[in-house]
Amino acid sequence: MALKPFKTIGIGVTFSPNLKANIYEASRLSFMFQSKLVLIHVGEKTSEKESEFQNILEPFLTQGLNYEIVFKPGNPVDVILSISDNKHVDLLILGALQRENFLKYYVGSIARKITRQAKCSVLLLIKPAAERIPCQHIVVNGLKDPKTKQTIDTAFYVAHQLKSGRITIVEEINQDEVDVRVDDDKSMRKATIVKERIKLRETSRIKEIIENIPVEHTTDITIKSQAIFGKQGYSIGHYAQIVRADLLVMNAPSKMTFWDRLFPHDIEHILTELPTDVLLIQ
Protein backbone atom coordinates (compact mmCIF):
# COMPACT_ATOMS: atom_id res chain seq x y z
CA MET A 1 0.00 0.00 0.00
CA ALA A 2 1.33 3.38 -0.90
CA LEU A 3 1.47 6.22 1.52
CA LYS A 4 -1.68 8.32 1.50
CA PRO A 5 -0.83 11.96 2.21
CA PHE A 6 -3.46 13.90 4.11
CA LYS A 7 -4.95 16.02 1.33
CA THR A 8 -8.17 16.84 3.12
CA ILE A 9 -8.60 17.24 6.85
CA GLY A 10 -12.05 17.10 8.39
CA ILE A 11 -13.20 18.26 11.80
CA GLY A 12 -16.57 18.10 13.46
CA VAL A 13 -17.47 21.44 15.06
CA THR A 14 -20.12 22.36 17.59
CA PHE A 15 -20.48 25.40 19.75
CA SER A 16 -18.58 24.28 22.81
CA PRO A 17 -15.97 26.04 24.93
CA ASN A 18 -13.36 24.13 22.97
CA LEU A 19 -14.52 25.42 19.59
CA LYS A 20 -11.77 27.98 19.11
CA ALA A 21 -9.01 25.65 20.19
CA ASN A 22 -10.31 22.86 17.97
CA ILE A 23 -10.48 25.03 14.89
CA TYR A 24 -7.05 26.50 15.59
CA GLU A 25 -5.48 23.06 15.87
CA ALA A 26 -7.19 21.85 12.72
CA SER A 27 -6.17 24.92 10.75
CA ARG A 28 -2.57 24.65 11.86
CA LEU A 29 -2.50 21.00 10.84
CA SER A 30 -3.95 21.91 7.46
CA PHE A 31 -1.08 24.29 6.93
CA MET A 32 1.48 21.78 8.01
CA PHE A 33 0.14 19.07 5.73
CA GLN A 34 -0.73 21.60 3.01
CA SER A 35 -4.25 20.27 2.89
CA LYS A 36 -7.79 21.48 2.62
CA LEU A 37 -9.82 21.88 5.81
CA VAL A 38 -13.45 20.76 5.98
CA LEU A 39 -15.49 21.97 8.97
CA ILE A 40 -18.45 19.68 9.51
CA HIS A 41 -21.31 21.05 11.58
CA VAL A 42 -24.27 18.90 12.44
CA GLY A 43 -27.27 21.25 12.21
CA GLU A 44 -29.12 23.71 9.99
CA LYS A 45 -27.16 26.29 8.11
CA THR A 46 -27.65 29.84 9.46
CA SER A 47 -25.74 32.96 8.68
CA GLU A 48 -24.89 33.63 12.35
CA LYS A 49 -23.23 30.25 12.69
CA GLU A 50 -21.32 30.70 9.49
CA SER A 51 -20.05 34.12 10.45
CA GLU A 52 -18.93 32.87 13.83
CA PHE A 53 -16.86 30.12 12.23
CA GLN A 54 -15.47 32.67 9.81
CA ASN A 55 -14.51 34.91 12.71
CA ILE A 56 -12.51 32.20 14.38
CA LEU A 57 -10.87 31.25 11.09
CA GLU A 58 -9.95 34.87 10.40
CA PRO A 59 -6.19 34.76 11.33
CA PHE A 60 -5.68 31.69 9.11
CA LEU A 61 -7.67 33.02 6.19
CA THR A 62 -5.23 35.86 5.81
CA GLN A 63 -2.50 33.24 5.38
CA GLY A 64 -4.49 31.58 2.62
CA LEU A 65 -6.26 28.66 4.25
CA ASN A 66 -8.18 26.47 1.87
CA TYR A 67 -11.41 25.60 3.66
CA GLU A 68 -15.01 24.59 3.37
CA ILE A 69 -17.85 24.59 5.89
CA VAL A 70 -20.51 21.91 5.55
CA PHE A 71 -23.84 22.07 7.39
CA LYS A 72 -26.10 19.07 7.62
CA PRO A 73 -28.72 18.16 10.20
CA GLY A 74 -29.18 14.60 11.41
CA ASN A 75 -27.56 11.96 13.58
CA PRO A 76 -24.05 13.26 14.37
CA VAL A 77 -22.35 9.92 13.75
CA ASP A 78 -23.97 9.38 10.39
CA VAL A 79 -23.55 12.97 9.28
CA ILE A 80 -19.87 13.18 10.07
CA LEU A 81 -19.15 9.78 8.53
CA SER A 82 -21.08 10.44 5.34
CA ILE A 83 -19.59 13.90 4.82
CA SER A 84 -16.07 12.62 5.41
CA ASP A 85 -16.82 10.09 2.71
CA ASN A 86 -18.26 12.58 0.27
CA LYS A 87 -15.53 15.13 0.70
CA HIS A 88 -12.77 12.48 0.59
CA VAL A 89 -11.46 13.44 3.98
CA ASP A 90 -8.14 11.70 4.68
CA LEU A 91 -7.84 12.70 8.31
CA LEU A 92 -10.68 13.29 10.71
CA ILE A 93 -10.00 15.24 13.90
CA LEU A 94 -12.00 14.49 17.04
CA GLY A 95 -11.71 16.03 20.48
CA ALA A 96 -11.53 13.96 23.65
CA LEU A 97 -13.27 14.63 26.93
CA GLN A 98 -11.63 15.07 30.28
CA ARG A 99 -12.67 13.10 33.30
CA GLU A 100 -13.71 15.46 36.09
CA ASN A 101 -10.97 16.35 38.55
CA PHE A 102 -8.53 14.00 36.93
CA LEU A 103 -5.91 14.47 34.33
CA LYS A 104 -7.44 11.63 32.43
CA TYR A 105 -8.97 11.76 29.00
CA TYR A 106 -11.43 9.55 27.27
CA VAL A 107 -13.30 9.49 24.02
CA GLY A 108 -16.97 10.35 24.23
CA SER A 109 -19.62 7.98 22.97
CA ILE A 110 -20.23 9.76 19.65
CA ALA A 111 -16.56 10.14 18.84
CA ARG A 112 -16.05 6.54 19.82
CA LYS A 113 -18.65 5.34 17.35
CA ILE A 114 -17.11 7.46 14.64
CA THR A 115 -13.66 6.11 15.43
CA ARG A 116 -14.85 2.56 15.09
CA GLN A 117 -16.57 3.10 11.77
CA ALA A 118 -14.47 5.74 10.06
CA LYS A 119 -12.91 4.79 6.74
CA CYS A 120 -10.23 7.46 7.03
CA SER A 121 -7.49 8.09 9.55
CA VAL A 122 -8.61 9.61 12.84
CA LEU A 123 -6.75 11.98 15.11
CA LEU A 124 -7.97 12.12 18.71
CA LEU A 125 -6.86 15.32 20.42
CA ILE A 126 -6.73 15.39 24.20
CA LYS A 127 -5.85 19.00 24.70
CA PRO A 128 -6.62 21.26 21.78
CA ALA A 129 -5.00 24.60 22.36
CA ALA A 130 -5.12 27.94 20.64
CA GLU A 131 -1.35 28.21 21.01
CA ARG A 132 0.77 25.65 19.21
CA ILE A 133 2.45 22.99 21.33
CA PRO A 134 5.24 21.44 19.31
CA CYS A 135 5.09 17.71 18.72
CA GLN A 136 8.50 16.41 19.61
CA HIS A 137 8.18 12.73 20.26
CA ILE A 138 6.04 10.30 18.31
CA VAL A 139 5.41 6.74 19.45
CA VAL A 140 4.22 4.32 16.80
CA ASN A 141 3.21 0.70 17.02
CA GLY A 142 5.23 -1.96 15.30
CA LEU A 143 2.77 -4.79 15.64
CA LYS A 144 3.14 -7.77 13.40
CA ASP A 145 0.17 -6.82 11.24
CA PRO A 146 -0.36 -6.09 7.53
CA LYS A 147 -1.41 -2.55 8.39
CA THR A 148 1.74 -1.80 10.34
CA LYS A 149 3.92 -0.95 7.38
CA GLN A 150 1.59 1.82 6.29
CA THR A 151 1.19 3.05 9.84
CA ILE A 152 4.92 3.41 10.29
CA ASP A 153 5.25 5.05 6.87
CA THR A 154 2.57 7.54 7.82
CA ALA A 155 4.14 8.14 11.21
CA PHE A 156 7.37 9.19 9.48
CA TYR A 157 5.42 11.33 7.05
CA VAL A 158 3.64 13.03 9.97
CA ALA A 159 6.90 13.42 11.87
CA HIS A 160 8.44 15.01 8.82
CA GLN A 161 5.55 17.43 8.35
CA LEU A 162 5.30 18.32 12.03
CA LYS A 163 9.08 18.49 12.36
CA SER A 164 9.23 16.04 15.23
CA GLY A 165 12.69 15.02 16.29
CA ARG A 166 12.08 11.58 17.66
CA ILE A 167 10.19 8.44 16.78
CA THR A 168 9.99 5.35 18.96
CA ILE A 169 8.68 2.22 17.35
CA VAL A 170 7.15 -0.05 19.96
CA GLU A 171 6.89 -3.74 19.27
CA GLU A 172 4.22 -5.12 21.50
CA ILE A 173 4.82 -8.81 21.90
CA ASN A 174 1.98 -10.84 23.23
CA GLN A 175 2.80 -12.91 26.27
CA ASP A 176 1.30 -15.95 24.53
CA GLU A 177 3.98 -15.74 21.90
CA VAL A 178 6.67 -16.43 24.49
CA ASP A 179 4.87 -19.67 25.27
CA VAL A 180 7.11 -20.43 28.25
CA ARG A 181 5.69 -20.01 31.73
CA VAL A 182 8.17 -18.88 34.34
CA ASP A 183 8.00 -21.35 37.19
CA ASP A 184 11.54 -21.88 38.31
CA ASP A 185 15.07 -20.99 37.30
CA LYS A 186 15.12 -23.37 34.37
CA SER A 187 11.93 -22.11 32.77
CA MET A 188 13.05 -18.56 33.51
CA ARG A 189 16.27 -19.06 31.55
CA LYS A 190 14.29 -20.61 28.74
CA ALA A 191 11.77 -17.76 28.73
CA THR A 192 14.56 -15.18 28.70
CA ILE A 193 16.17 -16.86 25.71
CA VAL A 194 12.87 -17.09 23.84
CA LYS A 195 12.12 -13.44 24.55
CA GLU A 196 15.55 -12.41 23.35
CA ARG A 197 15.00 -14.32 20.13
CA ILE A 198 11.57 -12.79 19.54
CA LYS A 199 12.99 -9.36 20.23
CA LEU A 200 15.75 -9.81 17.65
CA ARG A 201 13.25 -11.07 15.11
CA GLU A 202 10.90 -8.14 15.70
CA THR A 203 13.69 -5.60 15.59
CA SER A 204 14.92 -6.88 12.26
CA ARG A 205 11.37 -6.80 10.90
CA ILE A 206 11.01 -3.17 11.95
CA LYS A 207 14.40 -2.34 10.50
CA GLU A 208 13.31 -3.64 7.15
CA ILE A 209 10.23 -1.41 7.21
CA ILE A 210 12.30 1.62 8.07
CA GLU A 211 14.74 0.93 5.25
CA ASN A 212 11.94 1.19 2.71
CA ILE A 213 10.80 4.60 3.89
CA PRO A 214 11.71 7.59 1.71
CA VAL A 215 14.97 9.06 2.96
CA GLU A 216 13.66 12.62 3.19
CA HIS A 217 11.18 11.40 5.82
CA THR A 218 13.76 9.75 8.03
CA THR A 219 16.51 12.35 8.05
CA ASP A 220 16.85 14.44 11.20
CA ILE A 221 14.75 11.98 13.15
CA THR A 222 16.14 9.88 15.97
CA ILE A 223 14.72 6.42 15.61
CA LYS A 224 14.50 4.03 18.50
CA SER A 225 12.79 0.70 18.74
CA GLN A 226 11.54 -0.79 21.97
CA ALA A 227 10.14 -4.24 22.60
CA ILE A 228 7.38 -4.53 25.16
CA PHE A 229 5.87 -7.69 26.49
CA GLY A 230 2.30 -6.98 27.45
CA LYS A 231 -1.30 -6.62 26.48
CA GLN A 232 -1.62 -5.48 22.90
CA GLY A 233 -3.01 -2.02 22.39
CA TYR A 234 -2.95 -1.17 26.05
CA SER A 235 0.71 -1.40 26.91
CA ILE A 236 1.67 0.93 24.10
CA GLY A 237 -0.59 3.63 25.58
CA HIS A 238 0.98 3.06 28.95
CA TYR A 239 4.40 3.33 27.36
CA ALA A 240 3.49 6.53 25.50
CA GLN A 241 2.35 8.00 28.79
CA ILE A 242 5.56 7.09 30.58
CA VAL A 243 7.89 8.46 27.93
CA ARG A 244 5.64 11.56 27.66
CA ALA A 245 5.11 11.17 23.95
CA ASP A 246 3.21 13.94 22.16
CA LEU A 247 1.56 11.68 19.63
CA LEU A 248 0.76 8.02 19.51
CA VAL A 249 0.29 6.53 16.05
CA MET A 250 -1.53 3.24 15.79
CA ASN A 251 -3.18 0.89 13.34
CA ALA A 252 -6.88 1.54 13.02
CA PRO A 253 -9.05 -1.12 14.57
CA SER A 254 -10.01 -4.11 12.50
CA LYS A 255 -13.57 -5.24 12.42
CA MET A 256 -15.34 -4.75 15.74
CA THR A 257 -17.94 -7.09 17.07
CA PHE A 258 -20.16 -6.80 20.06
CA TRP A 259 -17.84 -9.02 22.05
CA ASP A 260 -14.88 -6.76 21.46
CA ARG A 261 -16.68 -4.01 23.27
CA LEU A 262 -17.76 -6.20 26.11
CA PHE A 263 -14.28 -7.57 26.65
CA PRO A 264 -12.21 -4.58 25.76
CA HIS A 265 -8.95 -5.16 23.99
CA ASP A 266 -6.61 -3.41 21.64
CA ILE A 267 -7.98 -0.05 20.66
CA GLU A 268 -10.88 -0.04 23.10
CA HIS A 269 -8.50 0.36 26.03
CA ILE A 270 -6.95 3.38 24.41
CA LEU A 271 -10.34 4.94 23.79
CA THR A 272 -11.33 4.78 27.43
CA GLU A 273 -8.01 6.10 28.54
CA LEU A 274 -6.21 8.35 26.11
CA PRO A 275 -2.56 8.66 27.14
CA THR A 276 -1.83 11.47 24.69
CA ASP A 277 -2.96 12.60 21.23
CA VAL A 278 -3.68 9.48 19.22
CA LEU A 279 -3.56 9.08 15.47
CA LEU A 280 -5.26 6.02 14.05
CA ILE A 281 -4.10 5.20 10.56
CA GLN A 282 -6.57 3.64 8.15
Partner 1 sequence: MSPKKNNFVGFLKTIPKNIFSGFVVSLIALPLGLGLAMASDAPPIAGIITAIVGGVLVSILGGSHVTITGPGNGMVGVLLVAITTLGLESAYAAIICSGVLVIILGFLRLGKLANFFPSSAIQGMLAAIGLIILAKQFHIMLAHRITEEDTLDYLLKIPFTINDAMHYTKPGLIYAAIIGVISFGIMLFYSKIRNKYLQLIPAPMWIVILSIGFSYYFEFIVHEKNPIDTSYMISGIPDIQTIIAELPIIDFSKIGEPTFWASVIALTLIASIESLLSIKAVDKLDPQKRRSNVNRDLKALGLASVGSGFLGGLNVVTVIARSSVNVNNGGSNRSSNFFHALFLVIFIVLFSTQLQRIPLPALMAILVYTGYKLASPDTVRKIFSIGKEQLIIFFVTLFVTLKVGLITGITSGVVVTLIIHIILNKGVSLFARNLLKPNVLMYEEGFGNYYVSVKHFCSFLNFYKLKENLDAIPENQDVIVDFSLCEFVDHTVMESLHDYQELFTKRDGHFEVVGLDMHDTDSKHPFALRRLLPVPNLIKNNLTKRQATIEELAKDYELKYSAKKEKETHFLDHFLFFRTKKINHIYNQLSNSDGNMSLFDIEFSEGEFIAKEVVRSTMLHINLEQQIPEFTLDREGFLERVYAFAGFKDIPIQEHSDFSRRFFLLGEDEAGIKKFFNDDLIHFFESNPYYHVESNGSSLLVFGKERLASIKEIKVLFDFGKRLKQVNS
Query: Should residue 222 be labelled a site residue for partner 1 when binding is judged by CB under 8 A?
Result: no
**Residue span 224-243 as binding mask against partner 1, x where in contact by CB under 8 A, dash where not:** --xxxxxx--xx--xx-xx-
Give the count of beta carbons closer than 10 Å to the beta carbon of residue 258. Answer: 7
Give the count of residues interacting with partner 1 (CB under 8 A): 23
How far is it, in rounded angstroms, from Cα 112 to Cα 273? 12
Which of 61, 130, 188, 193 is the binder for partner 1 (CB under 8 A)? 188
CA dihedral 225, 231, 235, 236 (to 10 degrees): 50
Cβ closer to partner 1: 130 or 182? Answer: 182
Query: Should residue 100 be labelled a site residue for partner 1 when binding is judged by CB under 8 A?
Result: no
Query: Should residue 166 be labelled a site residue for partner 1 when binding is judged by CB under 8 A?
Result: no
Helix (H) or strand (E) holding 82: helix 76-86
Contact 37, 27 (CB under 8 A): yes
Query: Should residue 192 be labelled a site residue for partner 1 when binding is judged by CB under 8 A?
Result: yes
SS3 10: strand
Cβ closer to partner 1: 19 or 178? Answer: 178
How far apart are CB 84 and partner 1 at their closest, in Å?
31
- Distant-in-sequence, close-in-space partners of 75: CB < 8 Å, separation ≥ 6: none
How far apart are CB 99 and partner 1 at their closest, in Å?
10
Helix (H) or strand (E) holding 26: helix 19-33
Query: Should residue 182 be labelled a site residue for partner 1 when binding is judged by CB under 8 A?
Result: yes
Residue 68 phi, psi dihedral angles, 5° rounding: -155, 135
Cβ closer to partner 1: 104 or 147? Answer: 104
Contact 114, 8 (CB under 8 A): no
Crossing angle, helix 19-33 and helix 47-61, to 10 degrees? 50
How far apart are CB 124 and partner 1 at their closest, in Å?
19
Cβ closer to partner 1: 19 or 228? Answer: 228
Cβ closer to partner 1: 153 or 266? Answer: 266
**Beta-strand runs (E) in 46-191:** 67-72, 91-95, 97-98, 105-106, 121-125, 137-141, 166-173
How far apart are CB 185 and partner 1 at their closest, in Å?
5
CA-nearest of 114, 60, 51 to 83 is 114
Query: Should residue 250 be labelled a site residue for partner 1 when binding is judged by CB under 8 A?
Result: no
How far apart are CB 203 and partner 1 at their closest, in Å?
12
How far is it, in rounded angstroms, from Cα 24 to Cα 189? 54
How far apart are CB 18 and partner 1 at their closest, in Å?
24
Which range, of 27-35, 85-93, 175-183, 248-256, touches partner 1 by CB under 8 A? 175-183
Query: Should residue 223 be labelled a site residue for partner 1 when binding is judged by CB under 8 A?
Result: no
Site of interaction with partner 1 (CB under 8 A)? 181-185, 187-188, 191-192, 226-231, 234-235, 238-239, 241-242, 269, 273
